[in-house]
Structure 1
């Protein structure tokens, strides 16, 4: 999985951000608002968003882009 990012720390941040998106997707699903993309892999009943995010990263379904710091 470390091939997806530069370091293990960026992998943790990457997975956590995607897990928040998945969690928000499930929260908005009942309201009819679909701002975020749902899980890209098949999920199990009691699977946590972080586990889903890590499986998506491991399957190569997500891409990460470095954000450049604004020039001062």
Structure 2
């Protein structure tokens, strides 16, 4: 071997163990990163239309980087704020505002303000998708 080390980016960089320190479970990490990747993908799609509803990548990203890789790098760099709670009302609930509070919001570098993002409820999706999962995190097969 020539003595050079590969520097993979994406699922192996940042390492999974480092990413799991930012969430409660591997299921939460999957949903959390997937929702942020969708936001990043929507941001790139709306750039062509001239709209600026979504927040773009918060970490240094190349044009060839995939949205999921960017989302994982943002999670590892603590660039996102994740709100966990069951008290987020459904849209259209009587007596509640028409908009839900954001559950994943990018943090801007200006005076610790939080930039608006797409409405998401990570914990609700985690609970729905892990209802049948084994408690110890291993497959029963």
Shared fold (TM-score greater than 0.5)?
A: yes
User: Hey, which of these two has a bigger chunk of strand by percent?
Assistant: 2
List 4+ stretches of structure 1 deviating above 4 A.
Answer: none
Greater share of helix residues, 1 or 2? Answer: 1
In 2: Cα distance, 1:37 partner to 1:4 partner: 21
RMSD (CA atoms): 1.2
Determine if the alignment matches structure 1 residue 57 to structure 2 residue 75.
yes
In the TM superposition, what is the alpha-carbon distance from 1:30 to its structure 2 partner? 1.2
TM-score by length of 1: 0.89
Structure 2: which 5+ runs fail to align?
A: 1-18, 90-141
Q: TM-score, normalised by structure 2?
A: 0.47
Q: Which whole-Å CA distance do the structure 1 matches of 2:38 and 2:63 have between them?
A: 18
- In the alignment, what sits opposite 1:29? 47
Contact 1:41 1:56 in 2 (8 A): yes
Aligned length: 70
Q: Which runs of 5+ in 1 are unaligned?
A: none
Q: 1:65 Cα shift?
A: 1.1
Question: Aligned to 1:63, what secondary structure does the other structure show?
Answer: strand
Higher relative contact order (Cα pairs below 8 Å, separated by 6+ residues):
1
